[in-house]
Amino acid sequence: MSHAHYPDLAGRVVLVTGGASGIGAAHVRAFAENGANVAFLDIQDEAGAALESELRLEGRAVSFLHCDLLDLDALARAIEQIRQTLGPVFALLNNAAVDKRQPFDEISGEDFDWMMGVNLRHVVFAAQKVIPHMREIGSGSIVNTSSIAWQRGIVSLELYSAAKAAIIGFTNSLAREVGPHRIRANAIAPGLVLTPRQRQLWFTEKGSEQRLLDAQCLPDAVEPADIAETALFLCSHAGRAITKQCITVNAGSY
């Protein structure tokens, strides 16, 4: 899939969390192809290094940094390293998440803390750390990844849904907070995107993918690149008047 081209993104420093695979890797590719200096964080060292190497061979400006987002000190150090090596961050894509399913009556306090940490807490603190960069630049864009899960009500996704709903509230308040500095904050709510992980975990039965497509208005599966296209638009000058919004990308599914 070829990406839309936004010349104003060329040379911008873009930070993607969870960028080694899935939707995150699509973000990394899309912004790199638009000429941005892309840094991405992940704990998947092999996948992260492979993506970095592949894109560098294509002449893209991409940097992979190992970072456990549950460690807020490590997150702060990684963002400071990006600032020192690449410059202030213009766009933050808070992408990292884990859609762990668990029966509600088995959830423990430890499960709750882990799910909020991996799906919500780093979103708040990554934004906190890059906003001074954006104030220095005089503008910026933060794109937080929500999900349609909290809207649909999916069994065994109570904690994930709670975190993804909270991201909308956080995004709306943040947009009001940083708007006077020409910093925009938006969210994207993907539908069920058929990443390799999703296919491996949840779409192993014959006909399961077709049932997903049958629930959509459009006949084609939503791909990671479709989410990246929306993020490109929101971070570019084309989206300069868009903030405090959540854009659903689900091909018109139920």
pLDDT band, very low/low/confident/very high, at 208 (cuts 50, 70, 90) = confident
Which residue's structure tokens are 């956080």? Answer: 170
Say whether pTM exceeds 0.85: yes
Cβ proximity of 83 and 75 under 8 Å: no
One of 160, 171, 193, 224 is an active-site residue; which one?
A: 160
Nearest CA-CA partner of 144 in 182, 92, 195: 92
Using CA atoms, how far residue 6 sits from 42, 59, 227, 230, in Å, is: 26, 18, 16, 12
pLDDT band, very low/low/confident/very high, at 212 (cuts 50, 70, 90) = confident
Cβ proximity of 222 and 1 under 8 Å: no
Per domain, the residue ranges of the chain are 7-193+225-248
Cβ proximity of 101 and 86 under 8 Å: no
Cβ proximity of 228 and 159 under 8 Å: no
Q: What average pLDDT does the chain have?
A: 95
Pick the CATH number of 7-193+225-248 from 3.40.50.720, 1.10.10.1150, 3.40.50.1820, 3.40.190.10: 3.40.50.720
Query: Taking the CB of residue 140, how many other CB atoms lie within 10 A of it?
Result: 25
Q: Is the pLDDT of residue 106 over 80?
A: yes
96 versus 198: which is more confidently predicted? 96
Q: What is the pLDDT of residues 214-233, one digit of tens each?
A: 999 999 999 999 999 999 99
Q: What is the pLDDT of residues 150-162, one digit of tens each?
A: 999 999 999 999 9
254: annotated active-site residue: no
